[in-house]
A and B are shown apart, each in its own frame.
Chain A
């Protein structure tokens, strides 16, 4: 029921809907995840150790928390490039509050609140002035990170209160870390929000045709504002986790994360043109990227080589469906 809305805008959007008839993206991703697991356990005997796998989740949970609302935002035909800068600004403000001697929960609260404020700011700029979100968020990306640089300069904040390290380093039960549990919780929340509520239906509708949605009574701008704020809140939460895990704040924190978060979303089968995609796909893509990078880490492959592989994955994944459809059409013509 989720992606059956027919699209009739441009030919290339039609291609993706044809693909959905050939095979479901999610099944394909499950296959790859399985394949990567088999490969990894072959390559390293330590891979299947539960503590090892638990460690692997720290690689992606923070980014994944932002990928969830980002998927909804991209489905609604918008994008937010400023997420990593929001992390930086929230982290900076948390650092300041912590230095003033605030208790643990106040520090975390300030981080989330700062994230929400940044998201709201993006949303207001996009909806109030009718500016494409990619431009707004390129601007706010410089602005948010710039404020961090003004406030911190080349300083590092390290004095966080005792107990703050629980958010990023603590375990809830056995190998299940607080970060992992939080991610599973939010994955379920966003699944419910996108696939089981009218809010989710409206998100698809807006992504498919904003004009038609507006005329059918959906409050398009208000909807976008909420989505941007959601992205901000989740960035704030990710900032709390990351700051707590690293135990320090510097202005260059989470540099370049916006691109890997968008990569996760696109890899998860969310169309960058809006209107289609599922939370299940995003979660699978997140796990896939986490496993691939962790497996390569076990093999001592340098991080920058991993980015090549992720880049190739991204391009293959988006061009494969198009190639398959071309091939199918050719075959149909030959018959």
Chain B
């Protein structure tokens, strides 16, 4: 069992993350303290939740480029609601942001499901539409921290067992996702729909509908993250989370979610996000300028996918390899 985990992608990846974590710890011991570990997880929570939503979408052979725009739009809406109705119940507000996020996700999903339009095109379009709508809604103005109520800003920071609510939310999402993807038929359908759409269709899975659900979940999580992002940084403006969609996809790719669909695990996805989180937190501590961050994550993505493509048998492309290579890999297995 343990041996199998260590040889799996998730195992290798978590070893790399741990090595990195303790490697930085050697240079500055306070990095591996419990408080700092909690704060790294807390910093990565939003990325983890968005990456799990994106994972479902990528599993069904689609891609959702509109997540960051969704975060910005929902964040702006709830920040403005909070600005004008400061005494509104927080539970109601969270339901609101879930609904708005779900609606934006459903728009993507419906286009993919009913019109069979490639998801990359649809989400490319809705990305600019949602971002623009944020501008129209706010007229380009910012909602600053003093315009937000205390409970609005305080909720994600509120600590239970000295762990912030933000982290608890991420943990809850991870657990639900793990259960759903491992044990529920609903979750397994995502693998079926992406792994072999034709076979899934003949075994009674409505592939389009599954893709719709993927976008719905991704949208709902983006909505939740919209509130969390805005309240965490205590400011809402049009450019919130600009370019974050690519970090989310990067987390999935590093975590071993195959972009051709049907392959990937919740744990891999979480570790992929944590990888980015540890790199971001470690750079300033080991004295590397943050300007290195992009190049490092780019290099890591490339290495991760190369490792992935050489270790896994890539069924979709195996036929394109030279005959002798195919023979070699066939003998190796």
Interface residues of A (CB under 8 A from B): 11-12, 15, 125, 129-132, 134-136, 138-147, 149-150, 153-154, 210-211, 214, 220-221, 256, 259, 262-263, 266, 272-273, 302, 304-305, 307-308, 310-312, 314-315, 318-319, 322-323
Would you list the 7 A-B pairs with minimal beta carbon distance, nearest first? A146-B295, A142-B298, A143-B298, A146-B294, A308-B132, A139-B301, A311-B128
Contact, CB under 8 Å: B126 / A311: yes
Q: How far is the CA of A304 from the CA of B129 in the complex (A)?
A: 9
Contact, CB under 8 Å: A322 / B116: yes
Q: A259-B127, A319-B117 given as contacts; is B299 within 8 A of A150 (CB)?
A: no
Q: How far is the CA of A132 from the CA of B246 in the complex (A)?
A: 16
Q: A307-B131, A315-B111, A315-B125 given as contacts; is B302 within 8 A of A140 (CB)?
A: yes
Determine if B253 is an interface residue (Cβ-Cβ < 8 Å): yes
Determine if B289 is an interface residue (Cβ-Cβ < 8 Å): yes
A151 to chain B, nearest CB (A): 9
Contact, CB under 8 Å: A307 / B305: no
Stretch at the interface among B49-57, B91-99, B185-193, B315-323: B315-323
Q: How far is the CA of A315 from the CA of B112 in the complex (A)?
A: 11
Q: How far is the CA of A272 from the CA of B63 in the complex (A)?
A: 13
12 interchain pairs, CB-CB under 8 A: A129-B309, A138-B249, A138-B301, A140-B302, A142-B294, A143-B295, A146-B298, A153-B291, A302-B140, A305-B132, A312-B125, A315-B126
Q: Which of B238-266 contact A (CB under 8 A)?
A: 238, 243, 246, 249-250, 253, 259-260
Q: A308-B128, A308-B129 given as contacts; is B259 within 8 A of A135 (CB)?
A: yes
Contact, CB under 8 Å: A308 / B133: yes
Chain A residues near B128 (CB-CB < 8 A): 259, 307-308, 310-311
Q: How far is the CA of A325 from the CA of B131 in the complex (A)?
A: 31
Q: Which of these, B65, B136, B289, B305, contacts A136 with CB under 8 Å?
A: B305
A166 to chain B, nearest CB (A): 32
Contact, CB under 8 Å: A130 / B125: no
Chain B residues near A272 (CB-CB < 8 A): 118, 120-121
Q: With CB as the reference atom, state the residue of chain B lying closest to A260.
A: B128
Q: Which of these, A132, A144, A314, A319, contacts B124 with CB under 8 Å?
A: A314
Chain B residues near A150 (CB-CB < 8 A): 289, 291-292, 295
Q: Which of these, A12, A130, A136, contacts B302 with CB under 8 Å?
A: A136
Q: A140-B298, A146-B296, A153-B291 given as contacts; is B132 within 8 A of A307 (CB)?
A: yes
Q: With CB as the reference atom, state the residue of chain A lying closest to B288.
A: A150
- With most chain B CB atoms within 10 A of its CB, the pick from A15, A131, A145, A220 is A131
A288 to chain B, nearest CB (A): 15
Q: How far is the CA of A241 from the CA of B195 in the complex (A)?
A: 44
Contact, CB under 8 Å: B260 / A132: yes
Q: A305-B135, A312-B125 given as contacts; is B259 within 8 A of A141 (CB)?
A: no
B246 to chain A, nearest CB (A): 6
Contact, CB under 8 Å: B310 / A141: no
Q: How far is the CA of A211 from the CA of B326 in the complex (A)?
A: 14
Besides the known contacts A221-B320, A315-B125, 7 further A-B residue pairs in the complex with CB atoms under 8 A apart? A129-B305, A130-B321, A146-B292, A150-B295, A318-B117, A318-B118, A318-B122
B57 to chain A, nearest CB (A): 13
Q: Which of B264-292 contact A (CB under 8 A)?
A: 289, 291-292
How would you classify the secondary structure of chain B's contact residues: helix, strand, loop or mixed?
A: helix
Q: With CB as the reference atom, state the residue of chain A lying closest to B126.
A: A311
Q: How far is the CA of A144 from the CA of B132 in the complex (A)?
A: 28
Contact, CB under 8 Å: A308 / B136: yes
Chain A residues near B65 (CB-CB < 8 A): 259
Chain A residues near B259 (CB-CB < 8 A): 132, 134-135
Determine if B147 is an interface residue (Cβ-Cβ < 8 Å): no
A262 to chain B, nearest CB (A): 7
Contact, CB under 8 Å: B118 / A273: yes
Chain B residues near A135 (CB-CB < 8 A): 253, 259, 301, 305
B307 to chain A, nearest CB (A): 10
Determine if B293 is an interface residue (Cβ-Cβ < 8 Å): yes
B254 to chain A, nearest CB (A): 9
Chain B residues near A145 (CB-CB < 8 A): 294, 298
Contact, CB under 8 Å: B116 / A125: no
A43 to chain B, nearest CB (A): 20
Q: How far is the CA of A139 from the CA of B300 in the complex (A)?
A: 8
Chain A residues near B115 (CB-CB < 8 A): 319, 322-323
A304 to chain B, nearest CB (A): 4
A154 to chain B, nearest CB (A): 8
Q: Which of these, A138, A214, A319, contacts B320 with CB under 8 Å?
A: A214
Determine if B314 is an interface residue (Cβ-Cβ < 8 Å): yes
Contact, CB under 8 Å: B310 / A129: yes
Determine if B145 is an interface residue (Cβ-Cβ < 8 Å): no
Q: How far is the CA of A295 from the CA of B293 in the complex (A)?
A: 39
Q: With CB as the reference atom, state the residue of chain A lying closest to B119.
A: A272
Chain B residues near A211 (CB-CB < 8 A): 319-320
Chain A residues near B330 (CB-CB < 8 A): none
A302 to chain B, nearest CB (A): 7
Q: Which of these, B122, B132, B246, B321, contacts A304 with CB under 8 Å?
A: B132
